[in-house]
Structure 1
Amino acid sequence: MTLAFFCLGALSLLGELDEQVTTENKKDWIDWIYAQQVLPTGQIPDPNEAYCGFRGSSWSGRKFEPTATTCSFQHYDSSHIANTYTALLNLLLLGDDLSRVNRQAIIKTIRKLQQEDGSVAPTYGSLEIDVRFIFCACAVSFILNDWSGIDIERTTDHIKRLQSYEYAIAQCPNQEAHGGSTFCGVAALALMNKLKEGLVDKDKLIEWCLQRQVSGFQGRPNKSPDVCYGFWIGASLDILESFTLVNCQELKAFLLECQHKIGGFGKDPDSFPGKISR
């Protein structure tokens, strides 16, 4: 689901989505996405209440039912908040009206995913809890125009606790600030209309972001620049109305160095697209 979003989103940004994906293929994509929707069982109480939304793929062999309105108990085939987020974006990119999305079920699940401290889990019972999933939950709530699944005040307070001595945002409390988690926190606050209340020091956060530009952007101090942070930190600065302070010529030159003849971008000039390096 997430890989589909990167492909469809990139084609849309390039103005090529309608050229590369036919009307028939769009319909097939939409049906495939809806077939990954985890729905209520229809029982009272409903055992799927904490598991609704979209899963990442059809790996489990579940029956292909793009028009289903209920499904069996999905404890071991749960939705994932990141896939719910990208599924909704995929549907919108493909021109769908979201009419088959069970909005109420998704919002109920988000309510179950939010923790007492304001953080959000990706799936019910997961211990992998960090700011990425706060952003996804906020984005889903924004897309569905329903914030009843999120405690906005608790979420805002949690993001404040994620801000380090550098005033940027870490994945979890008391951790190192990072470009990706900074975007997730800043974007979540913006979606909740809580930037003013949620940032400890906006000016120092902007300074931290600007200091990450070497040619491209690095994700943390003393790291090499990486293509992805052109988005994570660049988007953060744009939300903070400070992208005009970026040296765009240097950034563009770095990005073009990372584009290869075979197509696509590597993380840096020495990496091929798709190469995994740590």
Structure 2
Amino acid sequence: MATLSVGQLLRQTAARLTQSSSPQLDAELLLAKVMGVSRSGVLARLRDPVQPGIQEAYEELIARRELGEPVAYLLGRQGFWSLELDVTPDVLIPRPETELLVESCLQIAGPDAADFTVADLGTGSGAIALALAVERPAWQVYATDRSETALAVAAANARRLSLSDRIEFRQGDWCAALPDGLELDILVSNPPYIDPEDPHLSQGALPFEPLSALRSDEYGLRDIRLIVQQSLAVLKPAGWLLLEHGYNQGAAARQLMEQHKFNQVRTVKDLAGLDRVTLGCRS
């Protein structure tokens, strides 16, 4: 059988990835991983013959992608904010929508808040905590997760990015993981918020992601409610709570905050115009 060129292999592979919304990009990124070069390095070699062993290793990844496994898990990496994060099936894949939490935190604090104390609950890969630590090096940042394996991924990301000295990682359930007596300026979380009966849990990348980080009882609102309740014990007066939630949960999140006497409660829409982050100031 004639040896394929890199370009021919990419064209054949993209034609196979019919379930993907970005088949050509998927094919290029996965081949770059196998070849040990950047995506631009792959594109610079389109006329080169595929080297021995490459096609076999590539086929293994493509077969997994055809079954729906997310590219981020196959690569072991995902971009978030200005960072490249290691990701495994122990953590959610960071989404662009979650960057809105980071943006909102920075806007609330303003450029002159040098000594803020902030906690990211349910940190997963560490995406939110790491982004805040990069943007505000003087902040004291805590990152918590109930999952030991998720915390290990987050801590490894912090070490690789030379941010370990800016973040304290703690295992536990929501605010119970935080040190006794801690007073926060900002509490931020992207908690589980999908209704267990939501059919989306069986679609797309979600079946490959940790269910405990996706699904929440009480129509997806249980963990949001718990965090709102518990936040009162750890936020300073005039401290801020910011929560990511589903597109149809903005009204419920605002109601929960208002019931617990938060002020300036509002919901921020994402780039698609959907309710995504609700925030409020502790009275």
Q: TM-score, normalised by structure 2?
A: 0.29
Task: Select the structure that is richer in strand.
Answer: 2
Higher relative contact order (CA 8 A, sep 6+): 2
Q: TM-score, normalised by structure 1?
A: 0.29
Larger Rg: 2
